[in-house]
Amino acid sequence: MKKTPFLSAALLLAASSANAEVPPLSLDTDHITVSGLSSGGYMATQMHLAYSDWVSGAGIIAAGPYYCAQNAITTALEQCVNKASDKLDISPLISHAQKLASEEKIAPLDNLKDSRVWLLRGTLDATIHETVADALHAQYAQWVSAENLVYLNDKPFGHHFPAVDTGTNCTQSAAPFIGNCNYDAAGALLNHLYTDLVKPDEQITGRIFEYNQQVVGGETADGLAEKGYLFVPKACEEGTECRVHVSFHGCNQYAEAVGQDFVTKTGLNAWADDNNIVVLYPQTKKSLFMPLNPQGCWDWWGYTGENYATRDAAQIMAIKTTVGNLAKPPL
C-alpha cells in the first residue's frame, strides 16, 4: 500500500477560502474510486474500464453504457441521451471493449468482476432515457458479479445529483443540477463503494483547496479548466493516511457555470470528512470551437480524439497524472 507524503510548490495548490498551502498528505493511491453525473457518469465509466486494475469502484448517476457514442456526436444524440427507442443493443459496445482490452488500450475486463458499481437513474429524468440507463446496467452485469452491482431506477428524481436538503426541485432538472430530494445519493454510492464507512456528523471540518489543473494534470490537461478542486478532511491534513475518490461533474455543471456548488453541495464531502477520503473535483470548461463543447461536458463522444474512452484519452491521462502528482513526495 502506498503511503506517499505530498507538498510541492509546483502543484500550485491553495486553499480556496484562506489561500493557505496544502499540508503534506499521506495518500493510498494503490486503488481509487470514481463517481459522476451525466457526462461525468460516462467519464467515470470510461476511467473505470480504462484502469479497472486501479479503479476499484464506480458510482454513476444518469448515464449510459461504455462507448455508447462510438466516437460520433450524431450517434451520441441518436441513442445515448433522451430519445425513446428500442432496447439499446450493447453487443457491439461489449465487443469493442473486448477489442480494446485485447489491444491493452483498456485494462483486462476480468478485473471488473470484483469491482463495486452503483448506478442510479430517476424516473423523471428527461435527459437520459430509461433504455440508455438500462443498457449501462446490462453492460456492467456482463462483467461485475451480481452481489457487487446495484441499480436504482424507481425513484422520482429529475436529471441531477439527488441530495438530502439542498438544491432545486427534485422532480425537475435545473442548475446547479443538484436535487433537493431528501435522498442521500452521495452516502448511498460511497457506502457501496466502501464497505467500512461511519455515518458523518453534522460538522465538516475539512477544507477545499484549489489546484492548477494545467500544472498538476500534465500536458494532456490543456483542454480542462485552469482550476480544479480538492476536498481534504482535517485528519488527512494532520497526517492520517487517506483514500482518494474522484468526482466528475455533469454538463453545464463546471465551476465557471455553477461556482463551487457541485464541489460543496452533493453530500460527498460530509461522508469523506469523517471517513478519511480526499475527494478530487476536476473541472472542464466550455469551448465553442475546436473542440466544440459548448456545455462544458466531459468527453464521452470523441471531441478530444478517437481514443477518448481508453488509457490514451487526454482527459483520462490528465486525471491519472493528477492523482499521481498529488501523491508525490516533496520536490
| Active site amino acids | 38, 125, 159
Strand, helix or coil for residue 195: coil
Task: Specify whether the CB–CB gap between 273 and 58 falls below 8 A.
Answer: no
* Pairing label, strands 241-248, 32-37: parallel
Task: Specify whether the CB–CB gap between 193 and 3 falls below 8 A.
Answer: no
Element (H, E) at 118: strand 116-120
In this structure, the number of other CB atoms found within 10 A of the CB of residue 63 comes to 30
* Dist. CA 97–CA 91, nearest whole Å: 10
Strand, helix or coil for residue 109: helix
Task: Specify whether the CB–CB gap between 303 and 272 falls below 8 A.
Answer: no
Amino acid at 51: Y
Nearest to 133 by CA among 118, 115, 153, 148: 153
* Pairing label, strands 277-281, 227-232: antiparallel
239: left (phi over 0), alpha (psi -120 to 50) or beta: left
Length of the chain in terms of residues written? 331
Nearest to 247 by CA among 32, 65, 91, 27: 32
Nearest to 308 by CA among 35, 43, 25: 43
Element (H, E) at 293: strand 292-293
* Dist. CA 45–CA 137, nearest whole Å: 11
Nearest to 68 by CA among 85, 48, 88: 88
